[in-house]
Chains A and B, each alone.
Chain A
Amino acid sequence: MATLTRNDIEIATRAADHFTRLYYSTYDSPTRVNDLPNFYRPTSTVTWNGNPCEGSDGVKKVMEGMPSTKHEVQSFDCHPIPGSQPPSLLVTVSGNVVHGKGTAGNPVSTPSRSVDGQPRVFAQTFMLVPDPTAPPVKPGEVAKYYIGADAMRFVG
């Protein structure tokens, strides 16, 4: 089994940084219903708070019913998974997310100590895998990756 080089770790970290920026800015954008499924493939396995959805189409359906979001990534980490070349990447993200209009969308009668509309803590883990059928289009691009697995939960 191949061991990880420093270069593998650097590439993986940059990829995770780039990915989390792209992913959540797309998620929070008005074009997300059409754009977010591009990160997935028909074979991707995805759960949203314990609800499974199959592939890009499943993600699209979930996004169609989703209120507007604003994510804030507070922590992320990434490991290259030894065994494949290029390696798959395990990315974990911890942060918070505001849905809809947040507290501003609560009725005026809402008590000030209510948690409704407040940001939720979310935890999301991705398995990013190389797509051997998608040729790299840019110089320097070692491979095109997609989300093979994605588990998201509200955790606070």
Chain B
Amino acid sequence: MLFFIAKRLVGVVITLFVIITLSFLIIRITPGSPFSQERDVPVEVLEALKAKYGFDKPLHKQYFQYIGNVVKGDLGLSIKYSNRTVNEIIKISLPKTMQIGFLALIWAILVGFVGGAIAAVKQNTKWDYGLMSIAMCGISIPPLVSGPLLILVFALALPWFPTSGWGSWKHVVLPSISLGSVYAAYIARLTRGGMLEVIRSNYIRTARAKGLSEKAVVVKHALKGGILPVVTFLGPAVASIMVGSVVVEKIFNTPGMGPYFVDAAFNRDYFLLMGVVIVYAVFLLLLNLLVDIAYGFIDPRIRFE
């Protein structure tokens, strides 16, 4: 078990290293420069700016320096938001993104799991069809559509929540509803599928045959079948929720990491962009590892390799 985790951690570090190298190369080789936006900058100023960020050195030296700094935990200076380090920007903005993301995920798991379980138990009834149609709606309504519509209804027509900004708990509600609905829908479908697979298996029949109540059969045995596909889905889902939050944060004007990401990519804010990519990658890789570990606990048939 410990050996498995250690082995996977080494894999995570290697993948991360490859991602950093690849992103570094992609950002630097493609045309566009962080300074091209400013017009009529004297050559001396431009040179001084380049020297400040180390862009006057050859690329491979910059690369090794950057890798060295990343290992030390220093992600460099932002170019657009001068005088602010990337670490600082991420430290302030990441918790906001995470708040919205985790709230979205929690309600998506709760609603999705319960909905999917009900649909599976009442398969081919009105409940099943109704819930699965709602789930299909959820999948077809991306945050891009649901976000503005939620603002229109629950912030403008009915003044229950603020339209945008950050501060109180009310600011988090609409963004996380908008962000989580797609995932709730996916989780409901996965739960239903997973449960239907086991509901017909022999051990469920045995449980029924020995006189267990229907409730106990569902809660003690069938639900387990629904958990596994959901757990598999959670790893990539968390990462895509982080990316999805870019839209939501733009719509709701949340000062999270999303807007910085888009800005940095537009402005070629090299270090900020790299920093954001690294944070996303770390999240995804660690969560996938966590999912694999959780697997072993939920389903002992899956052994750690």
Asked if chains A and B come from one complex, the reply is no
| A contact residues vs B (CB 8 Å cutoff) | none
